[in-house]
Chain A
Amino acid sequence: MTVKSETAAVIDRPRFTGGDIIASSLRSGRTTAPLRSLGLLVIIFAFFSIAAPNFFSTTNVSSLLAFAVPAAMVAVGLTFVIALGEIDLSVASVAALSGIVFIQAQPQGLLVAFIATFATGVACGLFTGLATTLLGVPSLVSSLAMLFIAQGIAFVLASQPITGTRLDVTIFFQQPIGPVLNVRILLGLAVVVAAAIILGLTPLGRALYARGSNPRGVKSIGLPSKSLVIGAFSASGLLAAFAGSIIAIGLNSASPVVGGDLLLLAIAACLIGGSRLEGGTGSVIGTTLALIALLSLQSGMDQLGVSAYIQQVVRGAVVLIALLAASPASFGGIHLASLRNRFTRTHTER
C-alpha cells in the first residue's frame, strides 16, 4: 500500500535532493544493510583473531579475499536478480559449465576463451530471463530448469576433470600486489565497485528496485519490466561465468562438480546483506561484506580444527542469527519495518 506510492514517487521525480537519497537508501536497506554485514564481519574477525593465531595475518586475509572472489561474483549477480523480486538458482551450475568452456577454449587463445565463457553465461541468463518473462514461468522454476540444463551440458562436455594448458595464467592471477592484494582480488574488487555503483547510484538501479517493490506499478509508469528481468538474469549469468573462469584459472582445471556450495553461500550472503526475497531491496556492498564474513567463519573454524559437521551447525546458526537481526519485524512482534516506513515517508512526502 504505502510501498506503491513511495515507489512511484521515487521514479517520477526527475532530480534527487540529499534528503530523498538518504530516505530512499534507508528504505531499500542500501545504507543500513552494509552496516549489518560489516558488524557481522567485525565480530567474526575479532573472535578468530583471538582464537586462531594465524587468522589475522596478511597472508591469511589475502587468501581469504582471493577465494571470496568467485563466490562474491555469484552473490553480486544474485543481488541484482533478488532486487527485482526474482531468484536465480542456476548460478553455481552456470559457473561450473562456464569453467569447463573456459578450459576447453584455452588452446584457441585467452581472448577466445574469455569470450566463449562470457557468451555461455549470458546465454544461460538469457534463457532464464526469457523463460521467466515470455513464457511466464516463475523464476524459481525457470532457473531450476537452467540449473539442470547447465549441469547436464557440463557433464556432456567433460565427464571428468579436465586440465588447462595455461599454468602461467594461474600464476599471474596469484601475483601479489602489495601485502594483501593480488590480480584476482583486484578484478573482483573492480566488479563489486562497478556493480555497487550501478545498483546504488544509477537510474537503472532505481528501476530494478522499483520493479522489485511493485512489478505492476513499474509497467504502469512505463518502465520496461521485461527488459529489466532479462537484463538482470543476463548479468547474473555473466557474473556466474566470470566466477567460473576465475575458479578454473585458480585450479588450472575445470570439473562439472566444482563450486557446489556457491549457490547457498550466495543466497545467505544476499539475505544477510539486506536483500529480501520479496524484492525491492538489496545492497552489493552488504552482500559482499556478508559473503566475506561467512567465508571468514568457515576459514576460522577450519583453522581451529572444528569438525565439518559442527561447522555446518555453526554456519546455520550464524545465518539464522544474522537474519533475525536483519528483519526483526517478523519476529518477536517488534514492527521496526513499519516504523522505518513511517520515518522515511515523512521525508519523501515533505
Chain B
Amino acid sequence: MIFQSFSFLLYFLPTVVFLYYVTPTNNLRNIVLIISSLIFYAWGNPLWAILLLGSSIVDFAIAQKIHNLNSQEEEKIHRQKKFLLLVSIIFNVGLLAFFKYWDWIIGLISQTTKIDLTALQHHIPLPPAISFYTFETLSYTIDIYRRQFRPTKNFIDYLTFISFFPKLVAGPIKRAHELLPQLVKFRKRISSRALELAFFMICWGLFKKLVFADNLGHLVNRCRENIATPGVGLLLAVAFTFQLYCDFSAYADIARGTARLFAIRLRRNFLTPYLSTNPVEFFQRWNITLSSWIRDYIYIPLGGSRRGILRNIFNIYFTMLIFGLWHGAGIFFAMYGLYSATVIIFYRLVPIDRLLVKFLGKIGKILSMPIIFSFIIFGMMIFWVKTPEDFFAFSNSFFQSIKVVSGLVESENFFKLGYILLLLTLPILVTDILGYRKNREFIDLYIGLKTLPKIFLYLTMFYLTLFFASRGSYDFIYFQF
C-alpha cells in the first residue's frame, strides 16, 4: 500500500486510528498495529509479510539468548555471545545479500570470467523495505550484545517495533532504544496540538511528493530525452537532486505525521541538507537515520578517526562504500559511496567552508553552500546513472553548461527546461531556508504560525495539488532500496 493512495488515506489510516484508540490495553493496541502493518506491507505480495515475520522471530530469539548470557562473565559465555551475534549478522546480511546482491554478483562474475553462471540467478524481485528492517533488527541485536539496551520479553512489542507501518517501507530507520520504550507503555490519546501537527505533516508530505517530486521526475525524464543538448546535464543533475530530496523527505514527513496519530514520535530523517556547508554536515542532515546507523555500527567499530590517518581514510572509504551499496546492487551505487568518501577526505585536507568563514565571515558560510552543493549534485548523478554510456552522456552535457550560460553555445532547450526547474525548486529552497534559520524543518514552523497563514498554506497546497499533480503518481524512489 502506498501513502499517496486514496485507499490508504481515506480507508486504511482512519480505520486503523479508530481501532487503535478504541482498544483498551497496550498489548491489544500493539496487536492492532501489527495486523495493520502486515496488511499494509503484504498488500502487494503476502509472501513479503512472511519474510518479515521470519526475520523478526530469528532476531528476537537470538537477542533474547544474548541477553540471558549478558549476566554471566566467563570467557566461554563471551564466545557464545559472539557466536550468537555472528549468527544474527550472517542471517541478516545473508538475507539482504540473497535478495539484493546475489543476482548482481553472479552477473558480475559471469561477465568478468566469461563463464555463464546466470543459471544461478534467482530473479526474485527485491522485497520492499528489506534494507530498512534488516538494519533495524541488526541494530537491536548489536545493542543488546553491547549491553546498551535491555531487550523486551514481549514479542508483540518487538514485532510492533519492526513492523510499525509508517516507517516500515522507507524509514526512517529506527533504533530499538528510540521506539521500543514508546511501544511498551500505554500511549495516551494525542493532544490536539499533536493532531494538528500530524495532519499538517501528512498534507505537506503529500504536497511535496505529488507536486514537486513527481513533476521533478517528469523534468528528469525530459532532461534525459534531451541529454545531447549542451548544458542539460546540469539541469538533470539539479532536478534529480531535488526530486530525490522531495520524494524521500515527503515520505519521512508522512511517516512521522502518521506515527504521531498513534502518539509515537519518529526521528526526523532530513534537516535542510542542501544548505550544508561541508560533506560531513551534509550527511548529518541527509537521510540522518541511515547515516548515523552507518556511523555507529560500521565507522566507529572500525576505529573511526582514532587509529591514524591511513586507517581513517580506509574507514571512511569502507563506510561510504557500504552506504552506497546499501542503496542497491550496482557499480554506480558503489561509485557514489566512494565519491562521497573522496569528497569527505578532500574537505578534511582542504576545509573550504572553514577557510571561507575565516576570511569572509557570514558571507563565507553562505558561499560554502553552493560549493558543497555542486559536489552533491555531481554525486547524485553518479547515484542516478545506470550505465557508463549514461554517465558519459551526462558528464559531456554537464560540463558544457558553462559554455551555454556564458553564451558560447546556443541552447533553447536549456533555458526552457531551466525555467521549469526554477519553478519547481525555488519553493522548496525558500521553505528550507525558512526552516534553516531556526535550525528546523519547515514543517516544524507550522505550529508557531497564526491561523491566517495556516489557512493560506492549506489553500495553496490544495489547489497546487489539484492542478499540478499527475493523476497517477510515481512510487517513492526509496521503495526500490
The answer to whether A and B assemble together is no
Binding site for A on B (CB under 8 A): none
